[in-house]
Amino acid sequence: MLVALLPGDGIGPEVIVEAVRVLDALAIDGLIFEEAPVGGAAYKEQGHPLPDTTLALARRADAILFGAVGDPDCDALERHLRPEQAILGLRKELGLFANLRPANLFPELANASALRPEIARNIDVMIVRELTGDVYFGEKGMRTTEAGLRQGYDIMAYDEGEIARIARAGFETARARRGKLCSVDKANVLETSQLWRDVVIEVSADYPDIELSHLYVDNAAMQLVRDPGQFDTIVTGNLFGDILSDLASMCAGSIGMLPSASLDKDGKGLYEPIHGSAPDIAGQGRANPLATILSSAMMLRYSLGRNEAADRIERAVGKALAGGLRTADIGGGATTRKAGDAVIAML
Ligand SMILES: NC(=O)C1=CN([C@@H]2O[C@H](COP(=O)(O)OP(=O)(O)OC[C@H]3O[C@@H](n4cnc5c(N)ncnc54)[C@H](O)[C@@H]3O)[C@@H](O)[C@H]2O)C=CC1
Ligand SMILES: CC(C)CC(=O)C(=O)O
Ligand SMILES: [Mg+2]
């Protein structure tokens, strides 16, 4: 089982190292790693954020463990050379259309949530985010209006096939959970969203056992803060899912806690924390590695068929938190390394 390690930029390498230490401590039979540069690191080394050799490794591997990309030094580059194009390119090239972002609260972190503990305590939601379409992949550019003003544009578009595919992923996910699916869109304003809603309703005919509801994205953001416990599974587009999952992370304690799986139609996956490269804390040993460690557990479960090892990691994270582990983002002073140590000690 080959795992491609793509650490990337900023805190990416810092959190990936800890996840690899945890995987090494489990001594999983046949698990091997191969590392390649990605993002700003790859641009600085090889002149491109997603070199062909990195993409080839990602294709060859059984699963990909990804840190984060993004480097302020690269913000002025032409868009196709910016670090973020690497993760967008991997998602598109590998057909990773289904992004699963679970947000649930470890009970020990009730006080770290931005919400009151009695409200935070109930959060246990899976956000199923479409990942290879929407405004992120539509035609974009700069033009000049008739009045001579600069105008930026990004086309938001989904075809019915893309919507039906992610809707099915949402229904299947809900079926394996508590049987409730909330589809989030902006159908009151956007044609893209009206089609989204129509197609989700069409697909729902195949899932009569699932309780389907719909919310506009602005209301969904408000409801996630008001009463996150009302949600089981949310299915939504790329842009809305990106925003709602960062929001949900603070209900669950920190953006440093939320893992993700990005899956193709056959279950091959890329696993990464939902956060970015956090340049503001990079190099200081302050990053919370738990989101990445939990992403490695998702990798073991979804792509490598090692459910028991995945359970061990998740239990060890819970025990480490119960034992008092707290990085700065969740109200403590533990370093990234100490957090890795604490999980390993509880495996
Ligand atoms: N998948 C990816 O590679 C992503 C990359 N990015 C990129 O990352 C760069 C920074 O973006 P931001 O908007 O600042 O988002 P970010 O997620 O990197 O950071 C947002 C805030 O959360 C904190 N934070 C993030 N992860 C943390 C962790 N593990 N432990 C403790 N604190 C943590 C950061 O210090 C920062 O204050 C940009 O270049 C952006 O494009 C952003 C999101 C996803
Ligand atoms: C960096 C972006 C391409 C996407 C993002 O913020 C995310 O996937 O969470
Ligand atoms: Mg994001």
SS3 of 96-107: CCEEEEEEECCH
What are the average pLDDT values for consecutive 10-residue runs of the chain, which has 347 residues? 98 98 97 98 98 98 98 96 98 98 95 94 97 97 98 98 98 98 98 98 98 98 97 98 98 97 95 98 98 98 97 98 97 98 98
pLDDT of residue 221: 98
Query: Which atom of ligand 2 is found nearest the CA of 275?
Result: 9
Does 281 sit in the ligand 1 pocket, CB within 6 Å?
Answer: yes
Q: In terms of CATH architecture, what is 114-251?
A: 3-Layer(aba) Sandwich (3.40)
**Cα 263–chain centre separation:** 11
| Cα(247) to centroid(ligand 3), Å | 10
Give the binding-site residues of ligand 2, using a 6 Å CB cut-off.
84, 87-88, 242, 274, 276
Give the position, in ligand 2's atom list, of the atom nearest the Cα of 131. 8
Which pLDDT belongs to residue 216? 98
Nearest CA to ligand 2 atom 3: 84
Pocket of ligand 1 contains residue 296 by CB under 6 Å: no
* Ligand found nearest the CA of 332: 1
Closest alpha carbon to 238 in 338, 137, 343:
137
The closest residue, in CA terms, to atom 35 on ligand 1 is 278
**243 Cα–ligand 3 center, Å:** 6
The predicted pLDDT at position 76 comes to: 95
Which-ligand-closest: CA of 66? 1
Q: Ligand 2: which of 75, 137, 242, 274 to mutate, judged by most atoms within 8 Å of the beta carbon?
A: 242
Residues 6 or more apart in contact with residue 124 via CB below 8 angstroms: 103, 104, 105, 229, 232
Residue given tokens 């008092």 in the structure block: 324
For ligand 1, whether the C-beta of 288 sits within 6 Å is yes
Quick one: pLDDT at residue 267? 87
Where does the chain have alpha helices with state H?
12-26, 40-46, 52-60, 84-93, 117-120, 160-176, 191-204, 217-226, 238-251, 290-302, 307-322, 336-345
Ligand sitting nearest the alpha carbon of 276: 1
283 is in an annotated binding site: yes
Domain positions in the chain: 1-108+258-347, 114-251
Task: List residues with catalytic annotation.
Answer: 136, 186, 218, 242, 246
Domains 1-108+258-347 and 114-251 fall in the same CATH topology = yes
Q: Does the annotation place 276 within a ligand binding site? A: yes
pTM of the model: 0.98
Centre of ligand 2 from the C-alpha of residue 206, in Å: 31
Which residues, in sequence order, are CB contacts of 337 under 8 Å at separation 6+? 18, 285
Question: Span 1-108+258-347: which CATH code?
Answer: 3.40.718.10
The residues near 174 (Cβ < 8 Å, ≥ 6 apart) are 180, 181, 207, 210, 232, 233
Ligand 3 geometric centre to CA of 28 (Å)? 31
